[in-house]
């Protein structure tokens, strides 16, 4: 029998990026807020300190900061014709856990999506005609525009202290920045990070081919920065232990370094860790959420009533919780009806490599998570797709983040996988190789979706989330095209050998690609094709907001986090200025 706790004004499911941001905005608006985080509490001191943090085996290989698959995982299959089997160990993507969520161990790569991404269907039809979008590709407009989100991007970047260089200031294009980006109201809060050697080589090669390289926007800061909340971040030291690791240095923008201390001091905020939410409860009419039921660290079931619920538990977890709570109609790929689980997308990656002469010391260990130089010339719709027959694109860059040897020991194709030949090749090439990232978009399709598995369960006895996904033909075509462009840049980089292959199917869950899982609870203006409206408010329960990359109708070329932060501020703004004043649906169905 669940014990009941006193009702709070708001409850946060998950205290990662979304929970921290919303916790701050809601407590500022005078609400009492309970933040439920199922992971452990943790702080930069002592939990992230070195030298213990610089342990590749523990954090990068054994994934110490990630969710424990022993207790809960996903099942996976390519199509409805297959049987989904459990992902018994993470590989392709690594959902995080713990206070601060994945934003503790992210790389800090901070790109804004473009207007072409937010209004993707409209823009593609305008530009190429209705027939251009391939059959079965279910991309949609988001219901919010880039122009509407600009002030929220700005706010998020200034909270984080993002290091970068503007490419478009209020309409004026600036060489050296991303000249394809939408107009920004002001420059980045801190200048770009220093450029490592391999990235400089990439930049010259890209320039020589007529492209527009610019420094990757980074939340590993280039200089000390005090944000509007009064928290100070330090200069990143390029230690090469960024993604999958926490930062000991106060130099990475994480909830701990940019906002949590302020939230935790607020007497209207109560943090409860070790609390795993099992379901969101609705009233008997099933039109209003009444609160959540969770299991605390001691295994006791607790019911927490709340007037407002913010679900921000990471895209996959949020979708699962909606399905487990039976909120919204689950998506059925055979009929195409239903919404929860629909439009799941990922990221389409490939990695050409340049092998240099031994005299070229790349020093791959002197890197940060978001350093380096990229081009957006082939991202999104920044190039003419007319003759090409696919939609979407990729940004390309030499943005290596580390030289940690268990994971990084590049060898040319044809090298044996073990033995003397392997070892010699590793020693020869370790310090003399650049990897180019081709970071490609992921369209939504009718057949890629999320639902609950019929067979496998988690440690609490609840069905696991089932992922049905394979790379759409469209994205493979896109990858072939853009990877070739990247290889061409690689050839201009002066190595002795350039290798590379586009992404091909089938999707392999055993190979790490990105942890950019999007969709499943997408936003939109039509409740028959979206789970939340343009303010990320549930169509089914107006006092429930589902905030995260689960809202993305499809995934763009860029990394998702900056857009997620902007949407979180956008939703918070709608809640505080509109919803709280007049609770109810913010859009009519």
Partner 1 sequence: MARLIPADETGPSALDADVPTYIDRQLASPWGAGAGLYRSGPWQAGKPEQGYQLPFTPAELFRTALGGITEDLRRANRGEFARLRAEDQDAYLRALEGESRDLNGVPSNVFFQSLLEMTIEGYFADPVYGGNKGMTAWSAIGFPGAYANYYELVDQHGIAFRRPPMSLAQDATGTVHVHPPPARPMAPKP
Partner 2 sequence: MRTSGLLAVTGLLAVLLPAAHAQFVVPSGQDSRQRPPAAQHCVTCHGERGQGNPAFQAPRIAGQPEYYLAKQLGDFAAGRRRHPAMEAFARLLAPEDRVTFAAYYARLEAPPPRRAGLNDGPERGRVLATRGDDARGVQACANCHGPGGIGQPPASPYLAGLDFAYLTMALQSWKDGTRTNDAGAQMATAVGPLTGEDIAALALYYAALPPPRPWPLDIVQPVIQGTSPGGTTTARAAGSGPEAAAGVGQRAPMRGATEGRGAGGASGNAAAARADEPGRRVLQNAPVPEGDSARGRAILATGAHGCIACHTIPGIRAARGVVGPPLAGLASRSLIAGSLPNNRPTLVAFLEDPPALVPRTGMPDVGLTREEAIHVAAYLGTLGRTGAR
Positions annotated as catalytic residues are: 516
**578: DSSP letter:** I
Between residues 261 and 463, which has the closer beta carbon with respect to partner 1?
Answer: 463
User: What separation in angstroms does the CA of 29 have from each of 33, 106, 537, 572?
Assistant: 11, 29, 18, 10
From candidates 44, 73, 281, 533, binder to partner 2 by CB under 8 A: 44
409 binds, among partner 1, partner 2, none (CB under 5 to 8 A by kind): partner 1
Nearest distance from C-beta of residue 204 to partner 1, angstroms:
11
Bond into 51 cis (ω within 30): yes
- Using CB under 8 A as the binding rule, whether residue 73 contacts partner 2 is answered as no
- Using CB under 8 A as the binding rule, whether residue 235 contacts partner 2 is answered as yes
76 binds, among partner 2, partner 1, none (CB under 5 to 8 A by kind): partner 1
Residues that bind partner 1 (CB under 8 A): 50-52, 54-57, 61-63, 68-70, 73, 76-78, 82-83, 85-89, 91, 194-197, 200, 235-241, 360-361, 363, 365-367, 371, 403-406, 409, 417-420, 422-424, 426-427, 430-431, 455-457, 506-510
Q: For the chain, how big is the Rg over CA atoms in Å?
A: 23
185 binds, among partner 2, partner 1, none (CB under 5 to 8 A by kind): none
Closest CA to 182 of 126, 116, 122: 116
Strand partners, 397: 374, 437
Q: Residue 247: left if φ>0, alpha if ψ -120 to 50, beta else—which one?
A: beta
Residue 88 burial class via C-beta count within 10 angstroms: exposed 0-12, middle 13-18, buried 19 and up: exposed
CA separation for the pair 305, 296 (Å, rounded): 15
Nearest distance from C-beta of residue 560 to partner 2, angstroms:
28
492 binds, among partner 1, partner 2, none (CB under 5 to 8 A by kind): partner 2
202 binds, among partner 1, partner 2, none (CB under 5 to 8 A by kind): partner 2
Nearest distance from C-beta of residue 190 to partner 1, angstroms:
14
From candidates 31, 133, 139, 231, binder to partner 2 by CB under 8 A: 231
355 binds, among partner 1, partner 2, none (CB under 5 to 8 A by kind): none
Spatial CB neighbours of 251, under 8 Å, sequence gap ≥ 6: 220, 221, 233, 234, 235, 236, 237
Contacts by 204-207, CB closer than 8 A, 24 or more apart: 205/489, 205/490, 205/492, 205/493, 205/494, 206/373, 206/375, 206/396, 206/489, 206/492
- Using CB under 8 A as the binding rule, whether residue 174 contacts partner 2 is answered as no
Between residues 232 and 528, which has the closer beta carbon with respect to partner 2?
Answer: 232
Give the DSSP H or E segment for 485. helix 473-491
Nearest distance from C-beta of residue 368 to partner 1, angstroms:
8
Q: Residue 176: left if φ>0, alpha if ψ -120 to 50, beta else—which one?
A: left
- Using CB under 8 A as the binding rule, whether residue 407 contacts partner 2 is answered as no
On whether the CB atoms of residues 103 and 97 are closer than 8 A, the answer is no
- Using CB under 8 A as the binding rule, whether residue 428 contacts partner 2 is answered as no
On whether the CB atoms of residues 493 and 291 are closer than 8 A, the answer is no
CA separation for the pair 266, 279 (Å, rounded): 27
Between residues 235 and 538, which has the closer beta carbon with respect to partner 1?
Answer: 235
From candidates 50, 129, 336, 407, binder to partner 2 by CB under 8 A: 50
Nearest distance from C-beta of residue 358 to partner 2, angstroms:
7
Between residues 127 and 424, which has the closer beta carbon with respect to partner 1?
Answer: 424
- Using CB under 8 A as the binding rule, whether residue 248 contacts partner 2 is answered as yes
417 binds, among partner 1, partner 2, none (CB under 5 to 8 A by kind): partner 1
CA separation for the pair 344, 519 (Å, rounded): 4
Between residues 20 and 543, which has the closer beta carbon with respect to partner 2?
Answer: 20
- Using CB under 8 A as the binding rule, whether residue 374 contacts partner 2 is answered as no
Give the DSSP H or E segment for 45. helix 44-47
CA separation for the pair 244, 267 (Å, rounded): 32
Instruction: List interacting residues with partner 2 (CB under 8 A).
Output: 43-46, 49-51, 194, 197, 200-202, 204-205, 208, 222-224, 231-232, 234-235, 237, 248-250, 356-361, 492-495
């Amino acid at each position: 029998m669940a014990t009941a706790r006193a009702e709070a004004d708001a409850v946060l499911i998950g205290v990662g990026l979304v929970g921290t941001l919303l916790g701050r905005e809601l407590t500022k608006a005078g609400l009492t807020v309970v933040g439920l985080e199922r992971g452990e509490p943790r702080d930069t001191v002592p939990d992230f300190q070195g030298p213990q943090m610089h342990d590749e085996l523990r954090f990068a290989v054994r994934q110490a900061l990630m969710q424990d698959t022993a207790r809960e995982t996903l099942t996976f299959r390519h199509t409805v014709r297959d049987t989904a089997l459990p992902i018994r160990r993470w590989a392709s993507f690594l959902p995080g856990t713990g206070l601060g969520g994945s934003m503790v161990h992210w790389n800090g790569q901070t790109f804004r999506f473009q207007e072409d991404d937010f209004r993707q269907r409209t823009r593609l039809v305008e530009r190429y005609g209705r027939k251009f979008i391939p059959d079965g590709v279910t991309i949609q407009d988001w219901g919010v525009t880039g122009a509407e989100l600009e002030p929220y991007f700005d706010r998020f970047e200034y909270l984080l202290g993002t290091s970068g260089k503007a490419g478009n200031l209020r309409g004026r294009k600036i060489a050296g920045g991303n000249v394809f980006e939408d107009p920004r109201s002001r420059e980045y809060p801190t200048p770009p990070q220093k450029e490592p050697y391999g990235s400089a080589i990439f930049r010259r090669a890209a320039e020589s081919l007529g492209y527009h390289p610019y420094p990757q926007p980074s939340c590993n800061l280039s200089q000390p920065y005090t944000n509007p909340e009064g928290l100070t971040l330090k200069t990143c030291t390029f230690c090469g232990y960024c993604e999958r690791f926490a930062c000991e240095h106060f130099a990475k923008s994480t909830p701990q370094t940019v906002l949590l201390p302020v939230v935790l001091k607020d007497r209207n905020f109560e943090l409860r860790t070790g609390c795993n939410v099992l379901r969101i409860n609705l009233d008997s009419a099933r039109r209003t959420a009444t609160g959540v039921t969770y299991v605390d660290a001691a295994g006791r079931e607790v019911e927490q009533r709340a007037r407002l619920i913010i679900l921000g538990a990471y895209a996959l977890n949020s979708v699962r919780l909606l399905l487990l709570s039976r909120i919204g109609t689950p998506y059925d790929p055979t009929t195409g009806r239903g919404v929860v689980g629909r439009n799941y997308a990922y990221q389409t990656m490939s990695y050409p490599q340049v092998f240099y002469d031994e005299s070229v010391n790349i020093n791959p260990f002197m890197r940060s998570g978001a350093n380096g130089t990229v081009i957006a010339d082939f991202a999104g719709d920044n190039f003419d797709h007319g003759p090409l027959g696919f939609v979407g694109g990729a940004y390309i860059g030499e943005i290596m983040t580390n030289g940690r040897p268990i994971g990084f020991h590049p060898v040319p194709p044809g090298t044996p996988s073990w033995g003397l030949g392997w070892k010699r090749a590793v020693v020869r090439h370790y310090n003399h190789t650049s990897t180019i990232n081709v970071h490609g978009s992921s369209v939504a399709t009718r057949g890629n979706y999320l639902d609950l598995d019929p067979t496998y369960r988690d440690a609490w006895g609840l069905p696991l989330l089932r992922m049905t996904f394979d790379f759409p033909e469209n994205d493979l075509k896109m990858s072939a095209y853009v990877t070739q462009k990247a290889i061409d840049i690689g050839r201009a980089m002066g190595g002795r050998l350039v290798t590379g292959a586009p992404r091909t199917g089938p999707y392999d869950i055993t190979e790490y690609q990105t942890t950019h899982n999007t969709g499943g609870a997408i936003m939109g203006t039509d409740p028959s094709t979206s789970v939340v409206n343009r303010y990320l408010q549930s169509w089914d329960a107006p006092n429930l907001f589902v905030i995260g990359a689960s809202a993305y109708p499809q995934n763009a070329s860029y990394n998702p986090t900056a857009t997620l932060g902007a949407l979180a501020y956008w939703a918070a703004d709608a809640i505080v200025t509109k919803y709280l004043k007049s609770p109810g649906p913010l859009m009519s169905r």
